[in-house]
Homo-oligomer: A and B are copies of this chain.
């Protein structure tokens, strides 16, 4: 994996590491790569290391055969225990995505925020479940039942989202209202089986930049990269600042570890000069919570 340069001014900043991975069919390889990234993060004084959605395996949504559901998914309790240990050993917090099989009938696409002491600070279960060809997560996962989760990590409030959630302004707004300063979106997005020539990456990035602006928060999206069985994942993991500027972006072709220093004072500056949260009119937003006809 390559590695981006750190910015010169690291003082008072929160340092994150985006681990853009090529995910092998061998989950042991993926777990080893993630641990390697944790070790590199440790050597670079990273505060939070973010892994891609469901990083331990090939992306399950591309397989429309529900019989594959159990095949190859590692036991999530073992995975969690392993990374709690690794997190403590490396003294780096980690955002760990995993498939959570609650029982034989019920699974979630989940994310644990493990602090650098190995404690699980918060857990989130993905709420927005895609159902398009190639991304048939509806065959595998229920919509999450834990609501939107914001957790304190050191001096920073981190809001948790996963992939398809990133397209919904309701998610980023709910997390910002919950006090989040940094939103993280582990992702798995690439080519579209229905329109092979279509590249969603420009709008994928643009939509999250806009959400960073509208909420005046940092947003980090961490994608997988490379060809798997049916999908060619496009990488392009990035961090946007509260003005919607992309301050770091990974390659669209290769695995890469990207470090970024977040100056959290930029949130206060942006909100006091050109913010939006104070002039919202919640009394008028009732239509948003209505179930559709």
Contact = CB atoms under 8 A, between A and B. Distances in A.
Copies in the complex: 2
Interface centre among A147, A169, A273, A283 (most CB of B within 10 A): A169
A148 B287 contact: yes
B173 A170 contact: yes
Contacts of A214: 167-169, 207
A210 B240 CA distance: 14
A196 interface: no
Interface in A250-293: 273-274, 276-277, 279-292
A273 B206 contact: no
Interface string A208-239: 01110110000000000000000000000000
Contacts of A200: 274
Contacts of A174: 284-285, 287-288
A52 interface: no
Interface residues of A, number: 51
Nearest to A175: B287
A194 interface: yes
Contact of A288 (B131, B194, B276, B282): B282
A130 B274 CA distance: 10
A178 interface: yes
Nearest to A202: B244
B288 A288 contact: yes
Contacts of A173: 169-170, 287-288
A215 to B, nearest CB: 9
Interface of A: 127-132, 143, 147-148, 164, 167-170, 173-174, 177-178, 192, 194-195, 198, 200, 203, 206-207, 209-211, 213-214, 243-244, 273-274, 276-277, 279-292
Given A174-B287, A192-B274, A206-B209, 10 more contacts: A127-B281, A128-B280, A147-B284, A170-B285, A194-B273, A198-B274, A206-B244, A207-B244, A282-B289, A282-B292
